[in-house]
């Protein structure tokens, strides 16, 4: 099985806007329920798990670019790289079979979380001087700065505190949703599917 | 249905300017101060953006965009003013809190950069219809599949919001709590989001079939419905902006060579 093999037919093209919509809904619900997390990468992870790493990466990057250029939320533009990484990580892990059982899904969540942290930390340091805009994370950052720790370490911890729990919950939601999808839908995205004829 | 795009057609000159000109302006407004590295240039770019927004009659609608990032700017000022690494000289103090000159200056630089980016993007966002931007990109050879993806996002999201409010009402009428402690609110997340996500994923199948039936995968050349009248001055402004970026680069390199 090829890791990066991607089908680019109408089904996958339609999947991408749906996933971007799901990202938006996740963020909306998180603010509606006043949860202290972002939860804005559910769609990206679904895209990665169904369509593969390439579709996941496209979902993630397109998500941030579209909102940045049209909905006025241009801070997200900078984080297009992070989203791309999350989608790629989720897609690769799913192709390797790490979305099949619950404990394996937890490992995927940790991998996606750390990819997000690794990409976001330099961006945070460059653009925001290290803060993330999340209350809990910034409290950690302020504490590390008061203790005279280097900026990048503070920013790294800031991200870990926010991103890893965020991705854990995201991937759990994704896991339960994928389990509940009908076979006739998931069959559309099987890369190794073969068409058999009766005669 | 409420659209997520902030564009409103108010027939001012700003809506008639070509999207590419606005994109060039964004690139220039962000690049020039960063390349030249002077604080006052940020101020200049912010002023130009404000003037453009005001003459396009969208200044009022740009305020929520800036207010959104205001809390982040505030935390940057607090954290760097109080705890920045290079802090040495006290600028002023409020009670036991001492704000340092270096930290505040650093926070100023970041804050102005963000404000500058927000305002220059606001010009594009508030005065350009997304489908127009996509169509112009497609005319210049941008992939039609990606064009479809972008346009389709703007159709899908209002639909999903409709489904979302229906499902929220349905779950509440069954007695689900959506307010209260953090645990209660967290428990409400899955039953709210999974039906919307499921139904929208299942809908993709029908959408895909519908697209295929209408020849989405067809390789033949396609024509465009709308023809865009060229706005006078588009080319002149673009050339000016590009020259200014070049001038900033030359100035920076020149001063760097002289200082060696």
The interaxial angle of helices B19-36 and B39-55, nearest 10 deg, is 160
- Asked if residue B190 and residue B63 are part of one domain, the reply reads no
| pLDDT for the residue numbered A30 | 85
What residue spans of B56-127 are helical by DSSP H? 59-68, 70-83, 101-127
Whether residue B221 is contained in a domain is answered as: no
Whether residue B53 is contained in a domain is answered as: yes
pLDDT in tens, B90-143: 777 777 778 888 888 888 888 898 889 888 988 888 888 888 888 888 888 888
pLDDT in tens, B183-230: 888 888 888 889 999 999 998 999 999 998 988 888 888 788 877 777
Task: Give this complex's ipTM.
Answer: 0.83
Tokens of A65: 């670019």
Q: Which residues of A, range 110-169, sit inside 8 Å of B by Cβ?
A: 127-131, 133, 138, 141-142, 145-146, 148, 150-151
| pLDDT for the residue numbered A1 | 61
Q: Which residues of B, range 20-39, sit inside 8 Å of A by Cβ?
A: none
| pLDDT for the residue numbered A73 | 65
| pLDDT for the residue numbered B10 | 84
Where does the pLDDT of residue B78 fall: very low under 50, low under 70, confident under 90, or very high at 90 and above?
A: confident
Using the beta-carbon criterion (under 8 Å), do B208 and A188 form an inter-chain contact? yes
Number of structural domains (chain B) is: 2
- Asked if residue B249 and residue B206 are part of one domain, the reply reads no
Mean pLDDT of chain B: 87
Where does the pLDDT of residue A149 fall: very low under 50, low under 70, confident under 90, or very high at 90 and above?
A: confident
Could you tell me which CATH number the domain at A10-189 has? Answer: 1.10.1760.20
- Mean per-residue pLDDT for A169-193? 88
- Asked if residue B115 and residue B37 are part of one domain, the reply reads yes
- State the residue range of the domain holding B164: 143-213
User: Which of the residues B20, B75, B120, B167 would you substitute to probe the A interface, choosing the one with the greatest number of A C-beta atoms within 10 Å?
Assistant: B75
Whether residue B1 is contained in a domain is answered as: no
- The full length of chain B comes to 260
- Give the C-alpha separation, B71 to B94, whole Å: 19
- Mean per-residue pLDDT for A122-132? 81
Give backbone dihedrals phi and psi of B94, rounded to 5 degrees, phi first: -115, 110
- Asked if residue B77 and residue B177 are part of one domain, the reply reads no
> Per-residue pLDDT for A57 more than 80?
yes
Using the beta-carbon criterion (under 8 Å), do A177 and B192 form an inter-chain contact? no
Whether residue B2 is contained in a domain is answered as: no
% pLDDT > 70, chain B:
99
pLDDT in tens, B62-74: 888 888 778 778 8
DSSP code of residue B141: T
pTM for the model stands at 0.83
Q: Which residues of B, range 65-124, sit inside 8 Å of A by Cβ?
A: 65, 68-69, 71-72, 75-76, 78-80, 82-85, 106-107, 110, 113-114, 117-118, 121-122, 124
DSSP code of residue B229: P
Q: How far is A173 from chain B (nearest CA, A)?
A: 7
- Asked if residue B249 and residue B156 are part of one domain, the reply reads no
- Give the C-alpha separation, A136 to B173, whole Å: 34
> Per-residue pLDDT for B1 more than 70?
no
In contact, B132 and A83? CB cutoff 8 Å:
no
Whether residue B206 is contained in a domain is answered as: yes
3-state secondary structure of A96: coil
């Amino acid at each position: 099985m090829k890791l990066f093999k991607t089908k680019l037919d109408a089904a996958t093209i339609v999947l991408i806007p749906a996933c971007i919509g799901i990202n938006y809904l996740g963020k909306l619900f998180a603010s509606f329920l006043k949860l202290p997390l972002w939860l804005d990468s559910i769609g990206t992870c679904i895209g990665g798990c169904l369509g593969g790493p390439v579709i996941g990466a496209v979902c993630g990057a397109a998500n941030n670019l579209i909102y940045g250029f049209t909905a006025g939320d241009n801070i997200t533009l900078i984080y297009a790289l992070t989203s791309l990484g999350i989608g790629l990580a989720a897609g690769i892990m799913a192709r390797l079979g790490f979305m099949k059982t619950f404990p394996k899904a937890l490992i995927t969540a940790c991998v996606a979380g750390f990819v997000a942290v690794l990409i976001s930390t330099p961006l945070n340091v460059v653009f925001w001087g290290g803060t993330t805009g999340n209350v809990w994370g910034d409290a950690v950052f302020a504490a590390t700065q008061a203790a005279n720790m280097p900026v990048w370490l503070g920013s790294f911890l800031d991200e870990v505190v926010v991103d890893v729990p965020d991705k854990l919950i995201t991937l759990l939601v994704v896991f339960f949703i994928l389990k509940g999808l009908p076979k006739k839908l998931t069959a559309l995205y099987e890369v190794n599917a073969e068409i058999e004829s009766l005669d | 249905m409420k659209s997520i795009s902030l564009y409103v057609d108010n027939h001012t000159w700003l809506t008639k300017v070509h999207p590419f000109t606005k994109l060039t302006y964004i690139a220039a407004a962000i690049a020039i101060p960063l390349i030249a590295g002077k604080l006052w240039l940020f101020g200049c770019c912010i002023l130009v953006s404000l003037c453009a927004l005001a003459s396009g009659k969208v200044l009022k609608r740009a305020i929520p965009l800036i207010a959104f990032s205001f809390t982040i700017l505030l935390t940057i000022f607090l954290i760097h003013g109080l705890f920045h690494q290079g802090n040495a000289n006290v600028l002023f103090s409020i009670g036991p809190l001492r704000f340092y000159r270096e930290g505040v200056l650093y926070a100023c630089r970041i804050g102005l950069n963000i404000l500058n980016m927000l305002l220059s993007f606001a010009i594009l966002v508030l005065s350009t219809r997304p489908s127009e931007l996509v169509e112009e990109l497609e005319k210049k050879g941008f992939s039609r599949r990606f064009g479809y993806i972008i346009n389709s996002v703007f159709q899908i999201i209002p639909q999903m919001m409709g489904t979302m409010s229906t499902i929220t009402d349905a779950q509440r009428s069954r007695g689900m709590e959506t307010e209260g402690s953090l645990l209660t609110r967290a428990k409400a997340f899955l039953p709210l989001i999974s039906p919307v996500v499921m139904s929208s994923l299942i809908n993709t199948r029908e959408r895909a079939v519908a697209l295929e039936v209408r020849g989405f995968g067809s390789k033949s050349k396609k024509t465009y419905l709308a023809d865009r009248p060229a706005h006078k001055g588009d080319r002149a402004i673009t050339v000016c902006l590009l020259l200014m970026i070049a001038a900033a680069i030359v100035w920076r390199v020149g001063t760097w060579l002289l200082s060696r």
